[in-house]
């Protein structure tokens, strides 16, 4: 039973971690390397995360600087940024790519807030799926005779408490991100 609980908690943490990464890729008015670091770039024909082929820094609050390890990849990186839904326009000087991050409009802020809520719901669904799997595993143990009905009910209660705490964590991350989006 402890193995089921440990496995469920590990999966709960992973679901929250993935949700937090998703929130990091949603842009606010500030420049942040997490905005583009996981963007896929066609590097010699293979999709590669941007952070593996270039260093990304934010020297100013509204500017990202991308320094490719291979200068030949500059055009591929620019193409990936232009094709993304971020609405950013890259410029390069042959050595680095500068990516100014414009101020968000009120309408765009609302759209991004909706996107944050959608990603948060996806995270909550992932947490609830982990709960379902853990409860099924506990019921399976009870059917095999490896645990009692009391153990089953205690385990289900513990899983529900964990589920509630991780859903609350996702909601707090969502509230923080929306607040960050809405500040001017």
pLDDT in tens, 61-119: 888 999 999 988 999 999 998 888 777 889 988 889 998 888 878 888 888 899 899 99
Question: In this structure, what are the phi and psi dihedrals at residue 122, rounded to the nearest 5 degrees?
Answer: -60, -40
Model pLDDT, residue 168:
97
Last residue of a domain, one of 79, 100, 121: 100
Task: Give exposure, 88-118, as e/b (b: 16+ Cβ within 10 Å).
Answer: bebebeeebbebebeebeeeebeebbebbee
Q: What average pLDDT does this structure show over 3-17?
A: 94
Distance between start and end Cα atoms, the chain:
49
Range of the domain at 113: 2-24+105-182
Model pLDDT, residue 167:
96
Model pLDDT, residue 33:
85
Model pLDDT, residue 121:
96
Who wins on pLDDT, 156 or 181?
156
Residues 94 and 109 in one domain: no
Residues 142 and 96 in one domain: no
Model pLDDT, residue 184:
62
Model pLDDT, residue 183:
78
Query: Domain containing 149 — which CATH number?
Result: 1.10.132.20
Rg (CA), the chain: 21
Residues 77 and 129 in one domain: no
Q: In this structure, what DSSP letter does residue 44 have?
A: T
Query: Domain containing 86 — which CATH number?
Result: 3.30.1360.40
Q: Which of 173, 159, 91 is nearest to 130 (CA)?
A: 159
Helix and strand element counts for the chain (H, E): 5, 6
What is the domain count for the chain? 2
pLDDT digits (tens, 9 = 90+) for 12-55: 999 999 999 888 877 676 778 888 888 899 988 899 999 999 99
Residues 52 and 119 in one domain: no
- 97-100 vs 40-43, strand pairing mode: unpaired
Model pLDDT, residue 114:
92
Asked if 94 and 117 count as a contact pair (C-beta separation under 8 A), the reply is no
Crossing angle (nearest 10°) for helices 149-182 and 106-144: 170
Residues 116 and 165 in one domain: yes
Residues 111 and 156 in one domain: yes
Last residue of a domain, one of 100, 119, 135: 100
Asked if 141 and 128 count as a contact pair (C-beta separation under 8 A), the reply is no
pTM for the model:
0.71
């Amino acid at each position: 039973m402890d193995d089921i609980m440990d496995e469920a908690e590990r999966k709960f943490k992973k679901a929250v971690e993935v949700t937090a990464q998703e929130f990091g890729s949603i842009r606010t008015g500030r420049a942040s390397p997490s905005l583009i670091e996981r963007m896929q770039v066609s590097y010699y024909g293979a999709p590669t995360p941007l952070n593996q082929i270039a260093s990304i820094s934010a020297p100013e609050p509204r500017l990202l600087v991308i320094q490719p390890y291979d200068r030949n990849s500059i055009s591929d990186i620019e193409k990936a940024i232009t094709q993304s839904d971020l609405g950013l326009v890259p410029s390069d000087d042959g050595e680095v790519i500068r990516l100014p991050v414009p101020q968000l409009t009120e309408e765009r802020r609302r759209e991004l807030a909706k996107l944050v809520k959608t990603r948060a719901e996806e995270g909550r669904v992932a947490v609830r799926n982990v709960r379902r799997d853990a409860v099924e595993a506990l019921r399976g143990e009870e059917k095999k005779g490896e645990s009692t009905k009391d153990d089953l009910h205690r385990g289900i209660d513990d899983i529900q408490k964990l589920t509630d705490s991780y859903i609350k964590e996702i909601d707090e991350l969502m509230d923080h991100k929306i607040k960050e989006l809405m500040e001017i």
